[in-house]
Amino acid sequence: MAIKTRITQLLGIAHPIVQGGMMWVGRAELASAVSNAGGLGILTALTQPTPDDLRREIDRCRTMTDKPFGVNLTILPSVSPPPYAEYRRAIIDSGVKIVETAGHNPREHIEDFKSHGVTVLHKCTAVRHAVSAQKMGVDVISIDGFECAGHPGEDDIPGLILIPAAADQISIPMLASGGIGDGRGLAAALALGAEGVNMGTRFCATAEAPIHDAIKQLLVANSERDTRLIFRRFHNTGRVAATPVSDRVVDISARPEAVFEDIRPLVSGAKGREALETGNVEAGLVWAGQVQGLIHDIPTCAQLLSRMVAEAEGVIRGRLGGFLA
């Protein structure tokens, strides 16, 4: 069976399943495996130390797949931001035709990508942001519910509400993101008005994910209750896996006098990278969503995608059809 939507047609993929851009995880090994399995793999631009390193990673990914893949460029507020324009130029010059954007003030990036014929997927955590992005000319909205890993925004709206609320106001194709890890989630996303799904945490627990097996086993062992919300008091909420480090961050942040500098040593990106690469959960944060409660194994990407599509077909044709009188 194949599930055909505007997403599969626009992106040239077999299955309406996209791998989200994840810091330190979105490398050629994973992106190529997802694309080879019929989904859309995504490289994470800022995982690469320089724009030239990104060019080399794009070239490396092309040696591992002849299928479409994209690059994520996330724009974050920073005192000393990375050279976003140079990363953008590396993406365009490398001939990448699909980009996932996320973060603050993406207009200049979206306009430049679009002027070079790049298909732009933009990740949003609120309907109003999705409407603005559609007006900017993006091709696809990825709407991210409160269940997600990473930064779910400050509205706390779960996917069951956010996806159909966005579908009511968005005419371009939409991906559902956050809390999706199996074919039931794919079928539900289609029912709610999306035309595909975007998954991050679920792809971390695959054979090809370039992270330590101990982290993958953590995702399998954890339940849907094993996440922590951090940075709430700083209005930059993040959802991470429950670990000794995230528990310390929550405890320190709860102190009335706490400031960001009190937790900075615990939450640095370099520490998170160390945790992912060494398997030491005492080293740094592990970003993961509530979908951990639906992760029970570590399949290959090909096994995961084929299983999801078969399960979605079973839900759509079998279980739901059986309810019709």
pLDDT digits (tens, 9 = 90+) for 127-182: 999 999 999 999 999 999 999 999 999 999 999 999 999 999 999 999 999 999 99
Q: What values do phi and psi take at 220, rounded to 5? A: -70, -40
pLDDT digits (tens, 9 = 90+) for 276-312: 999 999 999 999 999 999 999 999 999 999 999 999 9
pLDDT at 288: 98
| Element of type H or E holding 44 | strand 41-44
What are the residue boundaries of the structural domains of the chain, listed by start? 6-208+300-323, 213-290
Which residues on adjacent β-strands are paired with residue 43? 71
- Assign 3-class secondary structure to 244-289: HHHHHHHHHHCCCCCCHHHCHHHHCHHHHHHHHHHCCCCCCCCCCC
pLDDT at 321: 86
Confidence of residue 325 (pLDDT cuts 50, 70, 90): confident
Radius of gyration of the chain (CA): 19
pLDDT digits (tens, 9 = 90+) for 35-52: 999 999 999 999 999 999
C-alpha distances in Å from residue 73, one per residue of 84, 101, 319: 8, 5, 39
pLDDT digits (tens, 9 = 90+) for 245-270: 999 999 999 999 999 999 999 999 99
Query: Who's near 202: CB < 8 A, 6+ residues apart?
Result: 180, 181, 182, 291, 294, 295, 304
The chain-wide mean pLDDT, for the chain, equals 96
CATH superfamily of 6-208+300-323: Aldolase class I (3.20.20.70)
Query: Who's near 257: CB < 8 A, 6+ residues apart?
Result: none
Per-residue pLDDT averaged across 207-233, rounded? Answer: 97
Q: What is the DSSP letter of 318?
A: I
Instruction: For the chain, give the longest Cα–Cα distance.
Output: 61
What whole-number percentage of the chain has pLDDT above 90?
Answer: 95
pTM of the model: 0.96
pLDDT at 90: 98
pLDDT at 80: 83
Confidence of residue 324 (pLDDT cuts 50, 70, 90): confident
Q: Which residue from 125, 124, 189 is spatially nearest to 155, judged by alpha carbons?
A: 125
Q: Is the pLDDT of residue 1 over 80?
A: no
pLDDT digits (tens, 9 = 90+) for 55-78: 999 999 999 999 999 999 999 877
From the number of C-beta atoms within 10 Å of its C-beta (0-12, 13-18, 19+), residue 59 rates as: exposed
pLDDT at 88: 98
Confidence of residue 2 (pLDDT cuts 50, 70, 90): confident
pLDDT at 76: 86
